[in-house]
Amino acid sequence: MSDRLINEGVKWMLVFLWLLANLVTWLASYLTYANSDEFFYMRHLMGASLPVARASATCLNLNSMMILLPVCRNIISFFRGSCETNRYYRRNLRRQLDKNITFHKVVAYLVVFFTIIHVVSHCFNSQNLYNSVTSESGPLAALLSLIRTESGKPLNPIQVLNKSPYGLTLIDKVLQLLPGWTGAVLTLVLIVMFSSSTEFIRRSYFETFWFTHHLFFLYFAMILAHGAQGIVSRQSNVAVHDPKKCSETFAQWPTDECPDPTFVNGSAGTWKWLLFPIVCYIFERIFRIYRAWQTIIITKVVQHPSSVIELQMKKQGFKMLPGQYVFLLCPSISRFQWHPFTLTSSPEEDYLSVHIRTVGDWTNKLREKVGADEGEQSVAKLPSIAIDGPFGTASIDIFEYEVGICIGAGIGVTPFASILKSISHKVLDPENELKLKKVYFFWICRDTNAFEWFTEMLSSLESMLIENGQGDFLEYHIYLSRGWSHRQAKNIYLQEEQAVDAITGLRQKTNYGRPKWDETFKMLAETHPAVHAGVFFCGPKNLSTVLHKCCNRYSSFKQDGCRFFYNKENF
């Protein structure tokens, strides 16, 4: 169990603190509305569901405050580079910042959870208010329904003369109230945003996800307006009118001991919760728009095998770290669609590049715009491109470890192009004193032809390292899980004794099948005792789960034990 704390300790501590914050917030608000004398008469009108509705509303404010911050990528990048604690905790805290989108999803689940509680509670509240004004809740409730607050508004916001069948009068009255119709819009917006955020919609209909997710503007407008009417009033003269005592003699009001109760409408407090994140998000968007306006020049378009194009670009003042990613916008295709791509160039190169596999509508249109199939194009004919970024990812921390283990599955190999390039530059520079002493690279793919450009790059790096006497620094293992024919299998067998691999042309031979991760991590732990090893993965979730468990299983707090720190790329 103690070994799991290496990867899980900080994460579960932060999750616990966040859930504790929600619990404390809920209880504090619930106890206030359940026990305070100021809300005694409102509880009589609305029933026991009032404190539940108010407590869930407070937690909605708390989570709505937090849901914007994880998607402020520039703020995340700033804090990621500003952790000033000791080395161990700096590394762990930075790893948690890489899970900003995961935290965003967790907060969204809590928003939906508390919305359900809030809506159901107010359904009971509305029915109780309706019963009060129609005298079904007793004479005290009927009397309270006739009282007006100091601002002249009725204490009971639902005022009806005749009871109609099917509850249509109640629904009509609720929707006439500001909290009623804004709450209905809020709920509908949340349903649309949440349902369109499923993995299936995001992967198959990204544009649908993108446009519906930007309804958050309407969500925040409605939640700010939702409590502006202040229909939950508080009694302002509790000192001279004890509601617990005076409610027993309400028929004699007013008396010397029990003057008429006076009430003040509630005040809107949501803006106090949301002001800071909204301001942060506005500055985030302004900064991103400013960067997107800066001039980008496409200097070269390279067509690689298997429908992969490489864009080489230059942008004045652009600085990056290995493994970072950017968002690309091509206005001639769409003025709204930003798509994330990992930078495949290294900081040591004088240009920035991305490799794009054309598999969707947007990427195919981009291929046409840059004329990838028409040979070399003049810069003047190439479309304008906007870049937002770069943004940090987990892989930039590889230089913080003594041993780096990079694992890419399929297209997940892309982030490691920049990392491996940068590592080779630093290793070959005699002035650099690297903490990183050994790099293992695992690549699992179904068909290496789909990533021939990466194989070419890997071959070049391999030759450079060998020529400079650093051949042992990088050890790579390529696994071809499927995609070879009987003819290829025969050629592979016949060329087994050759110096280079039959498929990739690399010196290290391709493995066929899938890695046995337990054996791999056991070997790594035995080979590198008393070492902090960073594991960096980009690929499907199922494999991520397997690797995460292996990191926990083979990590050890013992003095001579190897500790594996798991990092997953998130975009």
Q: Give the HSE-up count for residue 86: Cα atoms under 13 Å, Cβ half-sphere.
A: 1
User: How far is the C-alpha of 189 from the C-alpha of 181, rounded, in Å?
Assistant: 12
Rounded to the nearest 5°, which phi and psi values hold at 451?
-135, 45
Give the SS3 label for residue 31: helix
Query: Do the beta carbons of residue 445 and residue 478 sit within 8 Å?
Result: yes
CA separation for the pair 511, 382 (Å, rounded)? 41
- Range with the largest mean pLDDT of 73-87, 429-443, 500-514: 429-443
Q: Are strands 297-304 and 308-314 parallel, antiparallel or unpaired?
A: antiparallel
**Residue 261 one-letter amino acid:** P
CA distance 34 to 25: 14
Question: pLDDT tens-digit profile of 56-102?
Answer: 999 999 999 999 998 888 888 777 665 444 444 456 667 677 778 88
Predicted local confidence at residue 160, as pLDDT: 64
**294-391: CATH topology:** Elongation Factor Tu (Ef-tu); domain 3 (2.40.30)
> Region 225-236: what's the mean pLDDT?
89
Band of residue 503 on the pLDDT scale cut at 50, 70, 90? low
Place 183 in a pLDDT band, splitting at 50, 70 and 90.
very high
The winner for highest mean pLDDT among 3-7, 9-13, 53-57 is 53-57
Spell out where 425-490 has E strands.
438-445, 474-480
Which amino acid, residue 233? Answer: S
Task: Give φ, ψ of 129 to 5 degrees.
Answer: -65, -40
CB 564 within 8 A of CB 555: yes
Q: Which token pair is 205? A: 């209909």
Phi-psi map region of 323: left, alpha, beta (phi>0 left; psi -120 to 50 alpha): left
- Residue 149 backbone dihedrals phi, psi, to 5 degrees: -80, 175
- For helices 168-176 and 100-133, the axis angle rounded to 10 degrees is 120
Distances (CA, A) of 549 to 88, 430, 542, 543, 555: 21, 38, 11, 10, 10
Q: Name the band, by pLDDT with cuts 50, 70 and 90, for residue 2.
A: very low
Q: Alpha-carbon distance 534 to 38, whole Å?
A: 57
Q: Which residues of 197-214 are buried (b: 16+ CB within 10 A; e: fewer)?
A: eeeeeeeeeeeebbebee
Nearest to 469 by CA among 422, 430, 496: 430
Q: For residue 213, what are the contacts with CB-CB under 8 A and spacing of at least 6?
A: 193, 196, 197
Tell me how far apart the alpha carbons of residues 480 and 423 are, in angstroms, rounded to a whole number: 25
Cβ proximity of 40 and 48 under 8 Å? no
pLDDT of residue 116: 95
Go through the chain and tell me how many residues it has: 571
Q: What are the tokens at 250?
A: 């309400």
Match 């509850």 to its residue by tokens. 167
Q: Is residue 34 a contact partner of residue 229, using CB atoms and an 8 Å limit?
A: no
With residues binned 3-state (H G I as helix, E B as strand, rest as coil), the percentages for the chain, rounded to 5, are 55, 15, 30
**Structural contact between residues 492 and 484, judged by C-beta atoms closer than 8 angstroms:** yes
Q: Report d(CA 394, CA 549) in Å as an integer.
A: 18
Task: Write down the H helix ranges in 468-516.
Answer: 486-494
Indicate if the pLDDT at residue 39 is higher than 90.
Answer: yes
The answer to whether the beta carbons of residues 63 and 103 sit under 8 Å apart is no
> How much is the average pLDDT of 375-385?
72
Question: What's the CA gap between 285 and 291, in Å, rounded?
Answer: 10
How sure is the predictor about 4, in pLDDT bands with cuts at 50, 70 and 90? low
State the burial class of residue 165 (Cβ atoms within 10 Å of its Cβ: 0-12, 13-18, 19+).
Answer: exposed
Provide the 3-class DSSP secondary structure of residue 532.
strand
Q: How many CB atoms lie within 10 A of CB 289?
A: 11
Domain with CATH 2.40.30.10 in the chain: 294-391
CB of 337 closer than 8 Å to CB of 403:
no
DSSP codes of every residue in 41-94 = HHHHHH-THHHHHHHHHHHHHHHHHHHSGGG-HHHHHHHHT---S-HHHHHHHH
Taking all residues of the chain, what is their mean pLDDT, rounded to a whole number? 81
Between 89 and 52, name the one with better pLDDT. 52
Query: What gap in Å lies between CA 420 and CA 239, rounded to an integer?
Result: 73
- Mean pLDDT confidence for 324-341: 83
Task: Please say whether the beta carbons of 299 and 379 come within 8 A.
Answer: yes
Task: Name the one residue in this structure whose structure tokens are 């070399």.
Answer: 376
- The pLDDT of residue 378 is above 70: no
Its CATH class, for the domain covering 394-568, is: alpha beta
Query: 3-state class of 37 per DSSP?
Result: helix
Fill in the amino acid letter for 126: S
Judge whether residue 190 has pLDDT over 50: yes
The token pair that represents 431 in the structure block:
């002035």
Burial of 347 (0-12, 13-18, 19+ CB in 10 A): middle
CATH 3.40.50.80 positions along the chain are 394-568
Convert the pLDDT of each residue in 108-163 to its tens digit: 999 999 999 999 999 999 888 888 887 777 889 888 888 998 888 889 888 765 55
Token pair 């914007």 in the structure block, residue: 68
